[in-house]
Amino acid sequence: MVRNLTRLSLVAGLMFASNSAGSDFETKVRPFLEKHCLACHGAEKTKGDVDFSLFLSMADAELHPDLWETVSLVLEDGEMPPEDERQPGEGEKAAVLGWIEGEFFGEIESMPGELRPRRLSGPEYRNTLRSLFGFDLKVNIAEAEQTVAEKSLVLKLLPTDPPGASGFVNDTHGARLSTTIWDQYSYLADRALERYFAERKVSDAAEAETLVREFVPRALRRDLPDDRMAEIVRGLEGRSGDDLAEALKEEFKALLMSPAFLYRGFLMETNPERERQEVDDFELAERLSYFLWEDMPDEELFALARQARLHEREILVAQVDRMLASPKSRSLAESFGYQWLLLDQIHHERNDPPYLHALRTQPLDFLHYLFTEDRPVIELIDSEVTFLNALIADFYGSDRKQLEKFVKPKGIERMAMPLQKIVLEDSASERGAGILTMPGVLGMNEGPILRGTWMLRQVLGEHLGEPPPDVPPIQASPKGMDLSFRERFEAHRADKSCALCHDKIDPLGFALEGYDKNGGVIGAGQSIGKKKKKEVGAPGDIDTSGQLPSGESFADFEELHQLLLTTQREKIVRNAVERMLAYALCRKLERNDRPTVDALTAQILESNGTWRDLICGIAESVPFTECRNPDRK
């Protein structure tokens, strides 16, 4: 009885807090938005794609927790409203800030998201078919040694999945199943089954039953109830030869075209009497395998799920370690890291596929090293290790001497070649900032504005709106004057509304002006992939100083790097936590994910935690191991 009374008191307290937050939104926040924000962020004008006219109630506000974090920051820094607009009183501002930090974020508990089935992404579908059948469906192409071509028939045929609200392609909750995709699924299933049965002559019903009992649970990624399995087996009775084989093909084709195969989370049963519950072990195995491998669970995960032991902490952590040690964990870099850091944008003006392959592979090899070798999260931007091959070694001075000689096959002049791990020594000051100073990353963000924007968004996690479509180009130097880009840009950013974002972007971008458009160090005389070396400038001629909006000044990128490792460290770690958690959950983070993000961020900061620590923390977290029931009665 005492426990029930305590529970009732807790529920009542939470209900009061929720009602209070909703009431304060209507009495304090909504009037503030109408008075100071709707002119630029309303139905008629939506700067930065923000429309506060849609926020009519607390329920509307709860759908956009990341936006309220941004509102809090710009109000605290005095960035909004703009200087030329009517300014709020200190009491008005304090009321809104208090609501955001105290009631919107401060009075919430960690809650899982709703259990919503979602379709397998293209890469997930490709990998699942390969693991299920034991072979990959490939296209027949003539591939030259110097090129790297996509060989997967699945990825060639299926439309590319657009990023979901989380920013990742595995967030397919809003991606509809079109007739085109359905037809491609049918064709791919036929191709896979044709090859599968060509390698198995099914002679009798007993052999067919063995095949069914092995194939069906793996395809469904969970055990099937005995009565349903018996029903499938009965449908094969009395058949033999080609008739039996065709019956099996039809049954397996129906399975491969079913929502239970094409969607994740489709078969887990929920209790309609409960608001939240732990996911079952088969669902947990599936969540873990698609998070770390982008693939279906293997036999060891299946066995633990059947024993209902995967929820045990020691076993779960041991499985994370085993999975990170597997070659399949490469997908964490090639999918999560690739999308998070926009590495698909790495390009080069030279028509040289092996060279471009090296530029793109370097950050992926580096991320794979961080994720799988228990490296600190902050090493993303501060590492003594990198990966090179002979094609990009000129960017790294005498450190290139650490490379072991790669022997190309006879008769081949240029080819894509593997990268080797080296320790930065001679080039540590120019390249020791991890992902920030890799030539491919610098080259894809040509110029200080793109570099600053990329660092602000992808590394520091700042939410920036898109620039207006009518931004004029940077003007050339007046006749008789030789102004630097930075000097010419000052006139461009004179508009106060533009300066709000550029005050954040420009210091970061101009600090990297010591690197040319290809990512080479200006004045270092590197060859930039050509045999003849040339000087590309004088470092002393470039102004790389700046000041962060928080007030810290720096003379060059080396000093900025130290600020990133100290005063900006929490932002970088929090952003890494948020991005990896969103990828693992396959959805945009919600308000009730904030306690999980806070706890994981604090843990990493306190112990200089590693990516393994973060992955284990996510695997054990409430949103990963539990779910809310959308059909609760």
- Model confidence at 11: pLDDT above 60: no
pLDDT score of 18: 44
- Model confidence at 526: pLDDT above 50: no
* Nearby residues of 306 by Cβ (< 8 Å), 6 or more positions away: 223, 281
Residue predicted with more confidence, 76 or 383: 383
Domain locations in the chain as residue ranges:
2-104, 118-264, 448-512+537-565
pLDDT score of 633: 52
User: Amino acid identity of 536?
Assistant: V
Query: Residue 150: which pLDDT band, with cuts at 50, 70 and 90?
Result: confident
**pTM of the predicted model as reported, rounded to 2 decimal places:** 0.87
Counting residues of the chain whose pLDDT is more than 90, the rounded percentage is: 58
**DSSP string over 128-172:** HHHHHHSS--B------TT-----BHHHHHSPPPPP-TTSSTT--
Render pLDDT for 61-70 as a digit per residue (tens, 0 to 9).
Answer: 887 887 887 8
Q: For the chain, what percentages of helix, strand and coil (3-state, to nearest 5) are there?
A: 55, 5, 40
d(C-alpha 465, C-alpha 50), whole Å: 8
Mean pLDDT of the chain, nearest integer: 87
Ramachandran class of 176: left when φ > 0, alpha when ψ lies in -120 to 50, beta otherwise: beta
d(C-alpha 68, C-alpha 172), whole Å: 25
- Model confidence at 603: pLDDT above 60: yes
Query: Residue 44: which pLDDT band, with cuts at 50, 70 and 90?
Result: confident
Counting residues of the chain whose pLDDT is more than 70, the rounded percentage is: 86
Render pLDDT for 361-382 as a digit per residue (tens, 0 to 9).
Answer: 999 999 999 999 999 999 999 9
d(C-alpha 294, C-alpha 491), whole Å: 48
As a whole number, mean pLDDT of residues 90-100 equals: 87
Residue predicted with more confidence, 53 or 402: 402
Q: Enter the tokens of residue 441.
A: 């990353």
Q: Enter the tokens of residue 603.
A: 């843990």
- Model confidence at 604: pLDDT above 50: yes
pLDDT score of 4: 35
Question: Which 3 state secondary structure label does DSSP give 467?
Answer: coil
Distance of CA 59 to the CA centre of its chain: 27
Residue predicted with more confidence, 103 or 286: 286
As a whole number, mean pLDDT of residues 47-53 equals: 81
Render pLDDT for 547-598 as a digit per residue (tens, 0 to 9).
Answer: 998 899 999 999 999 999 999 999 999 999 999 999 999 999 998 999 999 9
d(C-alpha 213, C-alpha 222), whole Å: 12
pLDDT score of 496: 61
pLDDT score of 84: 72
- Model confidence at 539: pLDDT above 50: no
pLDDT score of 1: 32
Selection from 65, 68, 69, 87 nearest residue 78 by Cα: 87
